[in-house]
Amino acid sequence: MNTLLATLLSGSGNQFDYTYSLAAEVGTVAQEDADWDMASNWQVNTTGLRLGYQVNDNVDILGSVHWGSQGNGSAYDYYYYEEYDESYNSSMSGYEIQVSETLIHLGPKMSWNINSWLAPYATAQGLVIHNRLQMSDNGSFDEDSKTLIDDSGLGFGATGALGLEIRTRPIAKKAQLFFYGETGVSAATALNFSLQGAGADEGDINIGDLGYGGSYFRLGAGTKF
Amino acid sequence: MRKSLSILTALTLLSACDTLQYDSRSGDLWDTNVASANDGIYINLPFADELIRVNESGISVVDLTGAIPNRLVESPDGSQVLVFANWEECKDDDSDIVYPEDCDDLVSNSVLSIVSDATVTSEVEIPSHLNTVSFSNDGAIAVAYLDYDAGGDIQVDGFADLGEVAFIRVSNGSKGSASVGFSPKQVLFSPDNQAVVMSQSQVVAVDLDTFEKTLEAPLTLDADQAINPSNAELAYDPESGVTNLLLTVEGSSDIYMLNLESKYWNIGDLGAIATDIGVDDVTAQSVFVFSGSSKAVVLDHGELATLNASSLQDIDLEEPSNKALMGAGFAMLYNDASGAVHDVYKLDLATRELTEYVVSNPVSELMITDSGSYAVAVVRPENSGSSDYQDSRYGLSILDLSSDESISLVAQSEPIGVALVEDESNSYALALLSGSDTLLQVNLASPNSPAEVDLPAPPVSIAGMPNGNFVITHNQSLGMVSILDPATLELQTMSNFAVTNLFEQKELPRTESEQNEEAE
C-alpha cells in the first residue's frame, strides 16, 4: 500500500503543466439562521463541480457551482410523533418545506507548491447564492397542491479558505489527478422570501429571510489537463 | 509548511466552534379560532407571533408594536377586534441584548389591543390572568375577567387580585376596574347601563359610565359559608319597570331574586336544583329547568315583586331537561348531559302548551332559526353501544316548530360545525362533517336532498360573520379560510397566509422607558 502511494505521488520534481482543472466536490457553507430548522434539523452537504484555469504556477482562477436541497418530511414526522403526546393538541395536518440551493463561487487560488505532490493553498472567492423555497401541505409542489408557497431569493457574499492539495503522478504527461480539502469562513447577505402580490393592494407579504455564514468546508477530487 | 498546517488546523477548529442556534418554536402556524370583523378575518399566527387580517384585498399585518397575540375576540357589531397579547421586556438594559433568549431577566406584560381596519386604535394594560370577555348590550364596553371554567393556564405576575374585573370602553380604550370578590363567574348587563357581576358569595353591580361599584350584595351573612352562583339572568318586570336579577346557586333549590333598584333580596324555592335559566322578554317570563327532576318551572315577571310559592308554576315533563333555549315567546327544553334522554320540548310561554319531540339520539346541541320556525338538534351516538345503525351514529334532527313534525337525519360522520341561515322563503342548516370536503346546505323544509358545496380542503369550523356571510377554516397548515355567501353558496378562499413573517426572529419589542414614553 505504501509502495503504491509512493509511486502514485512521486514525480520528476517539476510541476505538471496544465491549463484547466475539473473536480467534483462536496461541502457546506454553514447556515447561520435558526429558521433553517424548519427545513431540516441537520444541514445537508451540497455537491458540485469546480473548474479551474491556471494563470501561472502559483495562481489559478476557480469557479464552482454547488447544488443541494434541504427538505423536511420532518414536519410530518414532528406532527406524527406529537400525536402521541397528550399535552399536544394540533388540528393541523402538517406541512412540507423544501429549499433548493445553488451556490456559485468564483475567485483566485494561490498555491504554495512545496513539491510536485503537495501544495497548501489559500483562496478568496466571491459567492452568489440562489435558493428556491417551496412549501405545501401535501408534499407536492405543483399547482395541484391546495396550498403552495414558491419563491426564490438571492444572496451575495464571499468565502476565504485555506486548503491542502495532493497531486498524483501525471498520467502520460497529459493529465494529473488531484485531491483536496479546504476550510474557512463565508459571509453572505440573507436571502429574502415573500408572498408575491399577496398583501393588501397587491403588495408583497414578507416570509422572512434565511441566512448563510460561518464555517465553510469543501472536499474534492479531480483532474488537471 | 508547519505554519500553513497550523493555520489550517486553527481555521478548522474555529469553524467547528460556531455557535449553534436552534429554532425552539413549535405548534401550529395559525390558530383556527379566527375573529370575523366587518373589514376581514383576523388570524393569530402563534408560530410567527403575528396578527394578520385577511380579506379580498389580501393579507395585512397588524403592527402590535412587538406584542404577541394570544387570543382574539370580535366586538358584537364586528367593528373592532380585541386582542389579548403580551410583550416581553428585559429588565437588563444592556444594549447588546437584542433577542428575548439573550436576556436572563425577562418579564412579560399583558395588554389588550383594540384593533380596527388592521390598525391598533388603542392598547390597554390588563392583568395577565384575565381570560374572558363579555360585551355590554350596545357593544361599547368590554368586560374582562377571570373565569376558572374557561380553561388554560392562569398567568400571574407578582401578586394579582383574581377578583379584579376590567371595564374597557372599546371606542377609546379607557379603562376602569373593580374588585368583585373571589372567582367572578358571569357578567350580565342591565338596561340601566350597569354590569352585574356574579362572584362567590356576592353580587356586585358596576356603573358602566363611571366604572364605580353601585352595589355589593352578599349572598350570605355567614362569612364562613361559600355560596357559588350557578346561573344568573336579568328579568325585566314590565309592571314595575324594574330589572331583577334571578340567581341560582350550586347545590341549592333556592332562587335568589335581587331588585336592582331597591337592592332587596327575595328568595324562593324551586323544589329542585336548577341547571339553567331562560328569560323571555316577549312574554316577560322566565323558565327554570332541572337535570334531576322531570319538570320545568315558569316564573311570571309580574310576580317578581311578591315572589312566593304561588308565583312559580311547575310544568311536568316526561324526561328531565337541563337546558333551556329561548325563542320569541317560547322555550326549547332539552338535555345535553344524559345519554338516555331523547326528548326535546317546546314550551309555549303564552299558553303554557307543551309540545314533545322525540329525536333519534341524545342531543349535543340545539339551535333555533331567527324566525323561530325551526329548531335543529345535533345528535350524538347512544352511550349504550347499541348496534342499531342510527343509534350508533351522529346526525341532525330537524324540528318544525309550526307543524310540530320532526325528521332525524343520519350523518356520515361527526358534524364539526352547524350554522342556521334564512332567506325570505326558506330556512337552511349549513353543516360541515368531519373528514368531508363538502359543505351540506340542508333546506329545513325538505331536508332529504341537501345541496352540496365542494370545499377546497377539509374544514375545521364554520362561524357567522357580521355581514351575514360565514367563515370556514380548513385543516391546512399553511393557512386556508373560505368565506361562504349563503345566498349564492359561492366560496371565496384565501390561503398560504400562515407563512407571514415565518422566518423573522422577534427582537425584544420595546423597553419599559419606551412604553412610558408612548403612554405619555
Query: Is the CB of B18 inside 8 Å of chain A's CB atoms?
Result: yes
The pLDDT score that the predictor gives to residue A90 is 47
Report how many helices (DSSP H) and strands (DSSP E) chain A contains, helices first. 2, 10
pLDDT of residue B298 exceeding 90, the answer is yes
pLDDT band at A159 (very low <50, low <70, confident <90, very high): very high
Query: What pLDDT, on a 0 to 100 scale, did the predictor assign at position B21?
Result: 52
Q: Which residues of B touch A33 (CB under 8 A)?
A: 21, 503
Residue B141: alpha-carbon gap to chain centroid: 16
Dihedral angle sign, alpha carbons of residues B60, B66, B71, B77: negative
Do residues A189 and B493 lie in contact, with contact meaning Cβ atoms separated by under 8 Å? no
Tell me the Cα Rg of chain B. 27
Chain B residues whose CB is inside 8 A of the A155 CB are: none
pLDDT of B290 higher than 90? yes
Contacts of B29 in chain A (CB under 8 A): 92, 95
User: Do the Cβ atoms of B241 and B268 come closer than 8 Å?
Assistant: no
A1-17: b or e for each residue (b if 16 or more CB lie within 10 Å)? eeeeeeeeeebeeebbe
Report which secondary-structure segment, H or E, holds B246: strand B242-249
> Edge-to-edge, what's the strand order for the sheet holding B58-62?
B35-37, B40-45, B50-55, B58-62
Nearest to A35 among B23, B27, B495 (CB): B23
Asked if the Cβ–Cβ distance from B18 to A215 is below 8 Å, we say yes
Partner residue opposite A146 with nearest CB, options B16, B60, B456: B456
List CB contacts (< 8 A) between A117 and chain B: none
> Phi and psi of B293, rounded to 5°?
-150, 135
Residue B2 has pLDDT above 50, yes or no: no
Using an 8 Å CB-CB cutoff, list chain A residues near B480: 146-147
Chosen for mutation from B5, B15, B59, B482 (greatest number of chain A CBs closer than 10 Å) is B15
Share of chain A above pLDDT 90, in %: 64
Distance from CA of A93 to the nearest CA of B (A): 6
Residue B406 contacts residue B359 (beta carbons within 8 Å): yes
> Per-residue confidence at A134, pLDDT binned at 50, 70, 90?
very high
Backbone angles phi, psi at B63, to 5 degrees: -80, 105
pLDDT of the residue at B517: 56
Which chain A residues contact residue B28 at CB under 8 A? 90-92
pLDDT attached to residue B154:
67
A192: its cell numbers:
429574502
- pLDDT at B305 (0 to 100): 76
Dist. CA B101–CA B174, nearest whole Å: 33
Tell me what pLDDT residue A82 has.
40
What is the average pLDDT value for chain A, to the nearest integer?
85
pLDDT value, residue B218 = 83
A99 — pLDDT class (breaks 50, 70, 90): very high
Smallest CA-to-CA distance from B278 within B262, B259, B258, B301 is with B301
Q: What is the pLDDT of residue B225?
A: 76
Which residues of chain B are within 8 Å of residue A162 when distances are taken between CB atoms? 4, 7-8, 11
Contact A28, B18 (CB under 8 A): no
Check pLDDT > 80 for residue A4. Answer: no
Comparing B302-311, B357-366, B406-415, B477-486, the range with the smallest average pLDDT is B302-311
Q: What pLDDT is attached to residue A14?
A: 67
Q: Is the pLDDT of residue A39 over 90?
A: no
Nearest Cα residue to B291 out of B274, B307, B308: B274
Q: Which of B59, B475, B502 is the closest to A199 by Cβ? A: B59
Selection from B434, B363, B432, B348 nearest residue B398 by Cα: B363
Q: Cα dihedral sign for B274, B276, B277, B283? A: negative
Q: Is B495 on the interface with A (CB under 8 A)?
A: yes
- Tell me which residue of B256, B254, B165, B241 sits closest to B205, measured CA to CA: B165
Q: pLDDT: is B275 or A95 the higher one?
A: B275
Which residue in B has a C-alpha nearest to residue A36's C-alpha?
A: B23
- What CA–CA distances, in Å, run from B323 to B284, B291, B344, B380, B437? 19, 8, 10, 16, 32
Residue B151 has pLDDT above 90, yes or no: no
Give yes or no for residue A71 having a pLDDT over 80.
yes
Q: Do A137 and B27 touch (CB under 8 A)?
A: no
pLDDT value at position B485? 92
In this prediction, residue B513 carries a pLDDT of 55
CB contact at 8 A, B397 and B343: no
Query: Which DSSP symbol is given to B129?
Result: T
Query: How close are the terminal C-alpha atoms of chain A, in Å?
Result: 27
Spatial distance between the Cα atoms of B414 and A27, rounded to a whole number of angstroms: 52
Task: Assess whether pLDDT exceeds 70 at residue B60.
Answer: yes
Q: Whose grid coordinates read 375576540?
A: B73
The pLDDT value recorded for residue B282 is: 92
User: How many contacts does A have with B, using Cβ atoms within 8 A?
Assistant: 141
Supply A69's cell numbers.
436541497
| Chain A environment of B477 (Cβ under 8 Å) | 75, 92-95, 137, 147
> Distance from A225 to chain B by nearest Cα, in Å?
26
**Which band of pLDDT confidence, cut at 50, 70 and 90, is reported for residue B519?**
low
Contact A183 B8 (CB under 8 A): yes
- Give the residue-averaged pLDDT of B265-291: 93
pLDDT in tens, B177-212: 888 777 788 899 988 888 998 888 788 899 998 888
Q: Of A184, A180, A181, A182, whose CA–CA distance to A216 is shortest?
A: A184
Query: Which residues on B lie below 8 Å from A149 (Cβ)?
Result: 478, 496, 499
Across-strand partners of B336? none
The pLDDT tens digits for B366-397 are 999 999 999 999 999 987 666 677 788 899 99
CA neighbours closer than 13 Å in the CB half-sphere of residue B335: 26
- B415 or B519: whose pLDDT is higher? B415
| Predicted confidence (pLDDT) per residue in B329-362, tens digit | 999 999 999 888 999 999 999 999 999 999 989 9
Cα Rg of chain A (Å, integer): 22
- The share of chain B scoring above pLDDT 90, in percent, equals 47
What DSSP assignment string belongs to B364-378?
Answer: EEEEE-TTSSEEEEE
CB atoms within 10 A of CB A211: 22
Half-sphere exposure of A28 (CA within 13 A, CB side): 15
3-class DSSP assignment, residue A78: helix
Q: Kindly tell me if the per-residue pLDDT of A86 is higher than 50.
A: no
Residues 66-125 in B contacting A (C-alpha not used; CB under 8 Å): 118
Q: Which of A128-132, A197-201, B153-157, B442-446 has the lowest mean pLDDT?
A: B153-157
Find all residues with CB under 8 Å of B108, minimum gap 6, and list them.
B86, B87, B88, B89, B128, B155, B157
pLDDT band of B303, cuts 50, 70, 90: confident
- Whether A143 has a pLDDT exceeding 90, the answer reads no
Mean pLDDT of B440-469: 91
CB distance from B275 to chain A under 8 Å? no
* Nearest CA among B267, B242, B240, B243 for reference residue B254: B267
Read off the C-alpha cell for B58: 389580501
Q: Within 10 Å of residue B93's Cβ, how many Cβ atoms?
A: 10
Which of A93, A94, A201 is closest, CB to CB, to B57? A201
How many CB atoms neighbour CB B505 within 10 A?
Answer: 19
